[in-house]
Amino acid sequence: MLRIKNRLVSTLAICVLMSFSAHAKLTVFAAASMTNVLEQVKASYLKLHPKEEIDFSFASSSVLARQISQGAPADIFISASQKWMDFLAKQNAIELKTRVNLVQNTLVMIAPKNSKIESVKLENPQWQANLKESYLAVGDPAHVPAGKYAQQALTSLNQWQAVQEKLARANNVRAALALVEQGEAPLGIVYGTDATASQKVKVVAIFPANSHAPIEYPATIVAGHHNQESQTFLDYLTSDEAKQIFIQAGFAVK
């Protein structure tokens, strides 16, 4: 009876393992600015791997990095800033050998689609008059990468001091985009790809590339989560198929 019972337990254990392996599931933590494009990449990937499942958690890179450092169950992390990937690397929270730079982005100023503002000369501080009694929508420079890039760019143009008290500081770049989409802010600073993804805003200026640090998106497998499924998806993110999707969304790839 004992042997039969042990066999039954072993059989059940094998069935459970087979069930898990038949439905591999990945959890990807990614910068909010990658929301649209990663959903497209996922759809393309699942055509090749229909038995797998991929769940995304989109937020500011700083929020996600802190969650991972505290043990959040992420398999892959895609940051909009090298800073927050370095933050995790110092804590040995990522698989260093898997770290890659996926794409690059641009920084733009936007206005609502129906705004009378058609273009802004960034070097001329007169554009600030468009804010009137309102605010400039940005990701919070204290922790949101898009906001930090905005601060760098405005500082480079000698305009940070004049506008730093006129900021609507959003929790992530998509929240800043939403403020402009909804007409709650007459101007905002977001990534070029955010503007491309929206039908409710228009680009009124592009910040010079040399006015801020390069906007790079590093990706990696989280420590302890390096397996066939996570490596296969990370490899796909750098594939020619994925690169075309990123390019169509407005990202730059090497």
What DSSP letter does each residue of 79-140 carry, written as one string?
-S-HHHHHHHHHTT-B-GGG-EEEEEE-EEEEEETT-S-----TTSGGGGGGGTTS-EEEE-
Annotated ligand binding at 173? The verdict is: yes
Say which DSSP state 201 is in: E
Q: How far apart are CA 53 and CA 139, in angstroms?
A: 31
The annotation status of 146 as a binding-site residue, yes or no, is yes
Tell whether 149 is in a known binding site.
no
Please check if 239 is assigned to a binding site.
Answer: no
Q: Which of 171, 111, 162 is nearest to 138 (CA)?
A: 171
* Contacts for 43 with CB less than 8 Å, ≥ 6 apart: none
What are the binding residues?
Answer: 33, 61, 146, 173, 191
Binding residue numbers for molybdate: 33, 61, 146, 173, 191
